[in-house]
Amino acid sequence: MMILYIIGCIFLFLFLFLILFISIPIEYCMEGQKYGAAYIKSEVMLFFNLMKFVFHKEAGKRAEMTIKILFFSFSPDMSSHQSKKKDTRKKKNKKASVKITKELIKKLLSAIGEAFVHIKPKVFQAEGKIGFDDPYHTGILSAFVCSLPLRHEGFNVNIEPVFDREVMEGKLVIQGRIIPAVLIWIALKLLISRPVRNILFKERKKNAYAK
């Protein structure tokens, strides 16, 4: 009985830890700048900034990554990363048997929309000067920027079009947060929806007959 009690406590602790892990927001921040020299910096913060992943890249230099956990930090060697070998073996093409319906498309678009609303940045700031070789393209970009719905709090875009020369310089800052539990809930709602359940049921039935 004591062993079962200990095992139960361990599973309960792991379950509570999992619930806590997926409920804590993951904050992200990306900053880029190009005034002469260009650089980009990205940060991902977990557990209320107790764990942080920092990626930094400057023009003409190697990319750097730093992992910080509490008061400890270390930087893995980015240059030693080797690309995995691709499998060159030919695979037989299987014809897709999934029937795309209007209801399925509607559910997919709804899930994508919910996910986008959740992960969209809370802060979006961009400023700088942009000019293309062809002034026509510069005008199209200027009209596109003016048409963006950027009246939300934390959104500020100040792009100055340059028509007489080719230039691209400025600064970009993006900040936001993601709660994994919300994305999991959106995915579960999609999986248990009627069109997806019908597809899964038909595939399982087809595989059972194939055996």
pLDDT at 88: 47
Q: What is the largest CA-CA distance in the chain?
A: 82
210 falls in which pLDDT band (50, 70, 90)? low
pLDDT at 44: 92
Q: Average pLDDT, whole number, for the chain?
A: 83
- Both tokens of 10, joined, read 């361990």
CA 112 – CA 176 distance, rounded (Å): 18
Q: What is the DSSP letter of 153?
A: T
- 182 has a pLDDT exceeding 50: yes
pLDDT at 78: 66
CA 132 – CA 126 distance, rounded (Å): 18
- 83 has a pLDDT exceeding 50: no
- Both tokens of 160, joined, read 């100055």
Residue of 170, 152, 173 whose CA lies nearest to 162: 170
- List C-alpha distances in Å: 13 to 1, 115, 173, 179: 18, 29, 39, 21
CA 131 – CA 176 distance, rounded (Å): 29
- 178 has a pLDDT exceeding 90: yes
Q: Measure the N-to-C terminal CA separation of the chain; round to a whole number of Å.
A: 42
Query: Does the pTM of the predicted model rise above 0.85?
Result: no
- List C-alpha distances in Å: 207 to 22, 135, 193, 198: 33, 58, 21, 14
Residue of 211, 32, 26 whose CA lies nearest to 124: 32
- 145 has a pLDDT exceeding 90: no
Taking each helix axis from N to C end, the angle separating 194-210 and 102-119, rounded to the nearest 10 degrees, works out to 120
In a 3-state reduction of DSSP, which class is residue 140? helix
pLDDT at 82: 43
**Domain segments of the chain as ranges:** 24-78, 98-211
- Per cent of the chain over pLDDT 70 is 84
- 20-47 per-position pLDDT tens digit: 888 889 999 999 999 878 889 999 998 8
